[in-house]
Amino acid sequence: MALMNYCPRCANPLTTKHDGGRDRQACPDESCGFIHFGDFSIGCSGVVLREEAGETKALLVQRGQNPFAGSWQLPGGYAEHDEPLSLAVEREVEEEANVIAKVRDVVAFRHSLAGTIGGPSTNIYMIFRLDLIEGEPRHDGVEIADAGFFSLAEMERMEAVQGLSRWGIEQALITNPGSGLSPDRRAPGAERPGWQLFGLEDIDPTVWRR
């Protein structure tokens, strides 16, 4: 957990408080009530597939800057604190690759503790499956050095394809679209401002139900 020196709400020097079974940094002013539960971030990336000459290909971008300049990965980035996840990944795909796509479902996620992948935050990284709407891959030549659609066979011949990205693509290829966690606008509470609910739906009517 990253250490803070002062309360972000009232600027008092932080002390320690036992809460939730462990000692945590906290504001000594009980009227403030701030408790530091740690630093967290949410990353997202998108698997966008299309058919080319009977072959399924996935959208990849090549990093133009360090860390990992030159490596290939799914387009993606961090979700803003006030941004719905589905909009975040759609935004990142368009910003990095000039491709417009809409979220279908979540095919996988990774949870990493602070410091385990080089970052200071505990991170949830969501891999979405998106439906291609329009656009041809284009890159800015700075943050993104290249972009394109590639088959798994082509990825075998490319240098530095991120393993996590390839795994996410494989998850999308071996599952039916809509079989992952999908945005559910009919769920109770889905209409609340600032909420986005994801749920599962049977896409095969022969699936056994209790």
Q: Find the CATH number of the domain harbouring 84.
A: 3.90.79.10
Going 151 to 153 to 159 to 165, the CA torsion angle's sign is positive
User: What is the domain extent for residue 31?
Assistant: 1-38
Stated pTM of the model:
0.89
DSSP code of residue 204: -
Question: What is the pLDDT confidence band of residue 207, given thresholds at 50, 70 and 90?
Answer: low
What span, in angstroms and rounded, lies between the C-alpha atoms of 107 and 207?
Answer: 19
pLDDT for the residue numbered 116: 80
* Same domain flag for 45 and 148: yes
* Same domain flag for 64 and 162: yes
| Average per-residue pLDDT for the chain | 92
Mean pLDDT within 194-209: 76
- Where is pLDDT greater, at 180 or 202? 180
* Same domain flag for 139 and 56: yes
Mean pLDDT within 155-160: 94
pLDDT tens for each residue of 6-43: 999 999 999 999 999 999 999 999 999 999 988 899 99
Cβ-based neighbours of 163, under 8 Å, separated by 6 or more: none
Q: Which two tokens stand for residue 121?
A: 């935050």
- Least confident interval from 74-83, 95-104, 116-125, 147-156: 116-125
Question: Per-residue pLDDT for 210 more than 80?
Answer: no
Contact at 8 Å (CB) between 99 and 59?
A: yes
188 in a structural domain = no
Buried b (16+ CB within 10 A) or exposed e, 112-136: bebeeeeeebbbbbbbbbbebeeee
Question: Per-residue pLDDT for 209 more than 60?
Answer: no
50 in a structural domain = yes
* Same domain flag for 78 and 151: yes
